């Protein structure tokens, strides 16, 4: 099986909700899923890491702000800067911004309500470690569920993201949370760290989530990247 020797870790923090879904997505894509605990600095020799969705530490202070100081994040931050592929989904995206692995911040949705729906996205960057199995401009649909999902940054950062092609995904249709420039996900300059608010791990089997498998390519992309690099 392609990727059968690839190990992808999924971190569980107190309040994480979607770690099991992410582990299942990794398995369905063909890699070995590895559970990682927030208090353990050891990444167990994984080849990539997923920061799953949920409400780590109850989203006290700010969403992701406390998790950023968990022992596991010390290792993840160092290894991400050295090239380790890291995907942050929803709360994981919030943790990536709090960790300064990705720029900007996540604020409360502009309508101040929790939102849960299938969301259309456009793939803006198909050149990252997590998006190479998509086509540039491809439209996909994955579930979205958040209350602190509004992506914000100053104009200089936004212009830089646009100019460097680092907007990875953009919302299509009505903007669900007021994110600036309809940004649903971004990447770092090197393309190994990607964060997005929608949940690709809930769109990997035809019988659950959206009833489509549009999210599976996140996980097959990183496997192919790892086995060919």
Closest CA to 96 of 188, 167, 223: 188
What's the CA gap between 148 and 43, in Å, rounded? 28
- Active-site choice (38, 98, 124, 201): 201
Rg over CA atoms, the chain: 16
Report how far residue 86's alpha carbon sits from residue 181's, in angstroms, rounded to the nearest whole number. Answer: 24
Q: Which position among 38, 98, 124, 199 bears the catalytic label?
A: 199
Question: Is 90 one of the catalytic residues?
Answer: yes
Residues 6+ apart with CB under 8 A from 190: 83
How far does CA 36 lie from the centroid of its chain?
A: 16
Tokens of 205: 């089997």
Q: HSE-up of 44 (CA within 13 Å, CB side)?
A: 15
Element of type H or E holding 50: strand 48-51
Rounded Cα–Cα distance for residues 157 and 136 (Å): 22
Which helix (H) or strand (E) segment holds residue 219: the answer is helix 216-228
Tokens of 68: 């950023």
Q: Are 13 and 57 in contact (CB under 8 A)?
A: yes
From 38, 90, 98, 124, the catalytic residue: 90
Active site residues: 90, 199, 201
């Amino acid at each position: 099986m392609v990727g059968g020797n690839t190990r992808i870790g999924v971190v569980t923090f107190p309040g994480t909700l979607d770690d099991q879904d992410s582990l299942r997505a990794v398995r369905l894509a063909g890699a070995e899923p590895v559970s990682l605990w927030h208090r353990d600095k050891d990444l167990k020799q994984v080849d990539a890491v997923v920061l799953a969705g949920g409400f780590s530490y109850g989203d006290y202070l700010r969403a992701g702000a406390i998790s950023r100081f968990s022992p596991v994040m010390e290792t993840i931050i160092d290894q991400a800067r050295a090239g380790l592929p890291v995907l942050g989904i929803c709360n994981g995206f919030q943790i990536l911004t709090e960790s300064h692995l990705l720029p900007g911040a996540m604020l409360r949705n502009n309508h101040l309500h929790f939102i849960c729906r299938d969301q259309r996205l456009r793939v803006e960057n198909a050149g990252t470690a997590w998006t190479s199995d998509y086509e540039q401009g491809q439209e996909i649909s994955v579930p979205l569920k958040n209350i602190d999902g509004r992506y914000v940054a100053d104009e200089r950062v936004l212009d830089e993201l646009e100019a460097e092609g680092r907007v990875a995904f953009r919302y299509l249709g009505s903007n669900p949370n007021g994110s600036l420039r309809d940004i649903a996900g971004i990447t770092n300059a090197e393309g190994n760290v990607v964060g997005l608010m929608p949940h690709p791990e809930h769109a990997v089997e035809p019988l659950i989530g959206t009833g489509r498998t549009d999210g599976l390519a996140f996980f097959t992309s990183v496997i192919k990247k790892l086995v060919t690099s």
